[in-house]
Structure 1
Amino acid sequence: MKQIYVIRHCEAEGQPSEAQLTKRGMKQALDLSELLSYIKVDRIISSPYKRAMETIEPLAKNLNIEVEVDSRLTERILSTHNMSDWFENLRNTFEDLELKFEGGESSREAMKRVVEVVEEIFNSNIDNTIIVTHGNLMSLLLKHFNSEYGFEDWKNLSNPDVFLIKNEKNKVTFERIWE
């Protein structure tokens, strides 16, 4: 059985790639490290964004595991232009996976890259992996495995959040394990 712990980064100071964790986010990262220190972890892969790296750093140090960086785990870009109605536009991209805004990527495009990472993990000889990513990309990954997962589920994610994806005999299931 393959297990992938998918982590959404802790509370951060903003959306840019260089945004770091808040003081509360740093405490959350320590809490996350404590929660996950009891599981077997063979590999950690993270988005290169500072908030994702800071989220997993305490656990990686605790387990003495080097964090691999994978740019396919970066947050999905909705558009490169400011959109006053971004919230509604994001909602629409959960219904129409091909919908794409200027300079951005469609849900299908973003989903494809995160699913590639997960499929590579499933096809590897490693059983227990952690991936650290961002809320929208996490939601799209979960939607890939359950088409009912949608915008309202994304809205209910927390910072941090953790889901466990299991692949047992090519049957993929997931559950939320962060309270």
Structure 2
Amino acid sequence: MLHLYIIRHGETEWNTEKRMQGRLDSDLTEKGKNDALLLGERLKDTVFERIISSPSKRTIDTALHVCEKRQIPIETDERLMEIALGEWQGKTEEEIKALFPAQYDLYWNYPSMYENQEGESFMDVMDRVASFLKELVDTTPVGNVLVITHGVVLKTLYLLCRNAPIDRLWDPPFMYGTSLTIVKLHNGKKELMLEGCMAHCW
């Protein structure tokens, strides 16, 4: 069977400003770097077959801090990138709420109805996450794989594991920076073994 150890990137400067990142990027804060180092210590005795990250700088930087003592190369896969948000990217939540009030309401309260002409829907993200998982099981059917990705990607993964509709996207747990989720993939089933855990920091 295959176990995925999936982490959200560490806290970034834009996270602290409540600024939407999407496909844009900002640097990890000192807290983000330190939390990633603490997670690396927590996982030091776990053997990984592969390490796969979103190509975004914030995820790769997180991977480097978590895996600083490992000799495994860090692969990248675009299917792990954060949701594309078009004009929202780089704006604060308050700016987005003022400029796109109806769309902003759908994003948070009715995710299945949210659309972004210059970006992606949540279903678009879930489809590429499902594609990533299928290919991963085919290429690496057993062992442990470390995956470094983003908040919305993690949320759609939870929906896939629970066979839940898009409108359950924002159900708990909240995805903190460097939170750890473990998923067991076996005989076509996806089972959540650990959800958004921050025990390495708290």
Task: Please give the TM-score of this superposition, normalised by the length of structure 1.
Answer: 0.88
Task: Quote the Cα distance in structure 2 between the aligned partners of 1:75 and 1:33.
Answer: 22
Q: Does 1:91 align with 2:120?
A: no
Deviation at 1:30, TM superposition (A): 0.4
Decide which of 65, 69, 88 is 1:62's aligned counterpart: 69
Paired amino acid for 1:106: S
Deviations 1:13-60 (A, max 9, x none): 122633110011110110011111111211011011111111110233
Match of 2:198 in 1: 178
Percent identity, aligned pairs only? 27
Match of 1:139 in 2: 155
Q: Is the 8 A contact 2:86 2:116 kept in 1?
A: yes
Q: Does 1:35 align with 2:35?
A: no
Task: Quote the Cα distance in structure 2 between the aligned partners of 1:66 and 1:93.
Answer: 39
Task: Quote the Cα distance in structure 2 between the aligned partners of 1:158 and 1:127.
Answer: 26
Larger radius of gyration: 2
Paired amino acid for 1:56: A
- State how 1:41-60 maps to structure 2 within 5 Å: 41-60=48-67
CA shift in 2, pair 1:87/1:151, >3 Å: farther
Aligned Cα RMSD in Å?
A: 2.1
Task: Quote the Cα distance in structure 1 between the aligned partners of 2:131 and 2:66.
Answer: 24
Decide which of 103, 106, 109 is 2:124's aligned counterpart: 109
Unpaired runs of 5+ residues, structure 2, are 15-20
CA shift in 2, pair 1:64/1:93, >3 Å: farther
Paired amino acid for 2:145: T
Q: Does 1:158 align with 2:165?
A: no
Unpaired runs of 5+ residues, structure 1, are none
Paired amino acid for 2:133: V
